[in-house]
Structures are given as C-alpha cells and as structure tokens.
Amino acid sequence: MSNLLESIIRPEILALSAYHIPSAEGMIKLDAMENPYTLPLILREEISQLAEEAHINRYPDPSAAPLKAILRDTLAIPSEMAIMLGNGSDEIIQVIALATARPGAVLMGVDPGFAMFRIIATFCGMNYVGVPLAADFSIDLEAMLAAISQHQPAVIFLAYPNNPSGNLFDPQAICRIIEATPGIVVVDEAYQAFADATFMDMLTQYPNLLLMRTLSKLGLAGLRLGLLVGRPEWLAQLEKLRLPYNVGIMTQLVVERILQHYDILLEQAAAIKAERAILRARLATMKGVEVFPSDANFVLFRLNEASRIFQELQQHRILIKNLDGSHPLLKNCLRVTVGASDENTLFCKTLRHILEKPL
Ligand code: PMP
C-alpha cells in the first residue's frame, strides 16, 4: 500500500502536514477568531423561515447576483470592480493559486503569516516564499523588495491586519510592494471589521491589486462566504476556476437576509473591539506577559513556558492557539481570540491563576 501511495500521491503532498483543527468539545473556544455573539431572536426566526421556503432540490444561483448586489452596497465596493464569491476566502486563495501555478511560479507571503497561503501554494504545485517580518511584526520592506526582485513572484498575499500577529502593516510599504512586483498582490482583509483601514479605495489606482474579504470573523463563519474584489479582467479569468455551485443556496439566502441588518454585525464588531481593549489591558498587568498591539479580533502575547501554559489552559477547558515553535519570531507566543465578556474574564482569571500558582 505504501508503495502505491508514494507512486500516486505527489511528493509535496506526502510531505505536507494537514491543517490541524483541534476538537473544541466542551471547551471555551478562543482559538479560531470566531465572533462569540448570536443574532437577535427575530432575525434567527426569519432565517428559519428561509430554510422552510428554500428550493433545496435545485442548484443554487451560480451567479449569486442578488447576494453580490447587497454585498456591493453594504461593503461600499466600487462600481467598476467585479466580485467573485468563494466558499470561505480559503477557497479564493486556492482559485488564485490554481490560476497562477505554472511550473516554478512563486507565491509570496510574509512569515509569520496566515498558514493557508503556504499550504495552498504547496498543494497547487507553487513554490512558497515567506519573507520574514521584523521583530515587531512590521514589514521588512528592504527584505521584501529584495525577495521580489530575486523570486519574481506571480502573486503576493498580505493579510491586513496580519494573522497571527494582529497588526496592520504600513500602507505605504504595501503600496511600494504593489508597485515593485511583476505579479498581482492580494490584500487579504479578513479582519477589516476590527481595524479602521482598508485598501478598497486603492483598487482603482493599481491594476495589479486584488482585495479579499470574508464574513467569517464578523459572525458568519459557519456559512462560509468569502469574496474577492478586483478588475473585471482579472476576475473573468479566475471565475473559470471557481466551481459553479460553490456557494450553497442556504448561504446565499441567509447572508442576503443578514446583510439587510448589517448594523447588527457592526455593533457586534464594535463590542469585540471594546472587549479587545479590556483583554489587552488585563494581559498587560500580568507579570512576565508581553502583549502585542492588535487591529483584529485576537490578541498575540508572549510569556515564559508558553507551551506548558497553553496545556494548563486546556486542562481548565480553555482552548486558545499555541504558536510557540511555529516560527522563530513566535517563540513563546500564544494567540487568544476575543470572546464574550464572561469568556475573556474567565480566560484572564485562569491565566492569572496558572501564572501565580507555585510550581
Ligand atoms: N485570511 C486570513 C488572514 C485568515 O486568518 C483566515 C481565517 N483564519 C482566512 C483568510 C480564511 O477565512 P475563511 O475561509 O473563513 O473566509
């Protein structure tokens, strides 16, 4: 069997470790940047009604035109730009990689950065080049420009704010990168709702810029909807690789309905930002804890023996993300998603308890 596997499955896939998603059963789940709040009852009732009425025996509308129209209005997408939808933005990353993966093509990112950029590049047969960030997680522009000139990437992905560090990069550095690269730059604004910045207005200025968003962090992670915004010429090519029915009928209908109440999602995002400030302030008062700035719905922090602390938190049924060992810049770093007020309080109380208890 193993010989057969090795002769059939590509070596880069055999070498790849699968993206690990730990079980969160019975845990306080602060590991995956989800929005902790539910929707108001009245809206949940409207959603149940949609489920009753939907023609689930039919394929969904492959163009999702009504959904795109409301997304355009809600997210202020410029009229001259096209929209492509994905089953989450992960799928959009894959479509872009498939479209650009000629032999030897390079997909570039920054390290530490979002793990899926590297994983998708690898399984699409591209070479991934991750350019190290500076120690404060800002872009090392000189290193980036040198890497661009050396590797001539087909595509560069930059998360703005970045995951797992949580910071926004200097927009001028991003502009220099867009101007210097021979290929396209995708600015991934997955966490835009928690930051006060966007590259949406830059789309008209740069012919090689694409912008990606997702509704996952805003409270709709389970519905799986990501979007890519860019010039119609680019998106017409990428659309050829999008599977025709990638966004299901329930996702289309439910998102359309929820976006009619977008203010609710924005209020929840504002509450998360307020909780983020409290969480950062509490972490900063803990002895030996270094808290990094965040423009996202999560907070990165460093402390001694991070892996042991992570495990002890798990024993207390609190699940966050251990980044220790994943990159030299992330030594002893943990990442916690901003949860609801009681979850954050319990997390801080438990962490303080672990830190203060004698070994
Ligand atoms: N981009 C970034 C930077 C992310 O952190 C994530 C989720 N962790 C995604 C994209 C993917 O989000 P989704 O597939 O849920 O839209």
Encode pLDDT of 98-142 as tens digits: 999 999 999 999 999 999 999 999 999 999 999 999 999 999 999
159 in contact with ligand 1, CB cutoff 6 A: yes
> How high is the pLDDT of residue 238?
98
89 lines ligand 1 (CB under 6 A): yes
- Ligand 1 touching residue 88 (CB < 6 A): yes
Q: Identify whether residues 213 and 333 lie together within a single domain.
A: no
Mean pLDDT within 1-9: 88
Q: Is the CB of 115 under 6 A from ligand 1?
A: no
pLDDT computed for residue 346 by the predictor: 97
pLDDT tens-place string over residues 228-238:
999 999 999 99
User: 9: phi > 0 → left, psi -120 to 50 → alpha, else beta; which?
Assistant: beta
Q: Measured at the alpha carbon of residue 330, what is the angle toward residues 269 and 124, in degrees to the nearest 5?
A: 80
CA of 109 to the centre of ligand 1 (A): 14
Quote the domain boundaries for residue 298.
21-39+264-356
pLDDT tens string 283-314: 999 999 999 999 999 999 999 999 999 999 99
Mark whether 90 and 236 lie in a shared domain: yes
Q: Which atom of ligand 1 is nearest to the CA of 159?
A: 3
For residue 357, the model assigns a pLDDT of 83
Domain final position from 260, 276, 304: 260
Ligand 1 geometric centre to CA of 233 (Å): 25
Ligand 1 within 6 A of 163 CB? yes
Q: What is the mean pLDDT of the chain?
A: 96
In a domain, 91, yes or no: yes
Same domain, 212 and 225: yes
253 plus 269 within the same structural domain: no
Q: What 3-state DSSP class applies to 270? A: helix
Interface pTM (ipTM) of the complex?
0.99
- pLDDT of 54 above 90: yes
Residue 3 inside a domain? The answer is: no
Percent of the chain past pLDDT 70, that is, above it, reads 99
Q: Which atom of ligand 1 is nearest to the CA of 91?
A: 14
Whether the pLDDT of residue 5 is over 80: the answer is: yes
- The Cα 79–Cα 231 span in angstroms is 10
Between the CA atoms of 79, 80, 84 and 88, what dihedral angle is there, to the nearest 10 degrees?
-60
Residue 24's pLDDT band, with cuts at 50, 70 and 90, is: confident
Interval between CA 136 and ligand 1 midpoint (Å): 22
Instruction: Indicate whether residue 186 lines ligand 1 (CB < 6 A).
Output: no
271 pLDDT exceeds 90? yes
Q: Are residues 74 and 26 in the same domain?
A: no
119, 326 contact by CB (below 8 A): no
- Which ligand 1 atom sits nearest the alpha carbon of residue 191? 3
Same domain, 71 and 117: yes
Dist. CA 356 → ligand 1 center (Å) = 35
Q: Indicate the pairing of strand 127-132 with strand 155-159.
A: unpaired
Last residue in a domain, options 260, 289, 315: 260
Which pLDDT belongs to residue 12?
Answer: 87
Q: The whole model's pTM is what?
A: 0.96
How would residue 352 be classed by pLDDT, with cut points 50, 70 and 90?
A: very high
Q: Among 234, 260, 286, identify where a domain stops.
A: 260
pLDDT for 322:
97
Angle between helices 306-315 and 341-356 (to 10 degrees): 120
Q: Are residues 190 and 305 in the same domain?
A: no
Confidence category of residue 21, pLDDT binned at 50, 70, 90: confident
pLDDT at residue 358 tops 80? no
Minimum mean pLDDT range among 12-16, 28-32, 264-268: 12-16
Q: Are residues 100 and 149 in the same domain?
A: yes
Residue 84 pLDDT level (bands cut at 50, 70, 90): very high
CA of 63 to the centre of ligand 1 (A): 23
169 lines ligand 1 (CB under 6 A): no
Q: pLDDT (tens digit, 9 = 90+) per residue, 188-213?
A: 999 999 999 999 999 999 999 999 99
Ligand 1 close to Cβ of residue 90 (< 6 A): yes
The pLDDT value given to residue 30:
97
Please tell me the residue having the least CA distance from ligand 1 atom 6. Answer: 190
Kindly give the number of the ligand 1 atom that is closest to the alpha carbon of 221.
Answer: 15
Is pLDDT above 80 for 69? yes
Residue 258: partners with Cβ closer than 8 Å, 6 or more residues away: 39, 43, 47, 220, 264, 265
pLDDT, residue 82, reads 98
- Ligand 1 pocket: which of 30, 95, 114 to mutate (most atoms <8 Å of CB)? 114
Q: 285 and 169: one domain?
A: no
For residues 167 and 228, state if they share a domain: yes
**Co-location of 268 and 250 in the same domain:** no
Same structural domain, 95 and 233: yes
Measured by CA distance, the residue closest to atom 12 of ligand 1 is: 89
Q: How many domains does the chain have?
A: 2
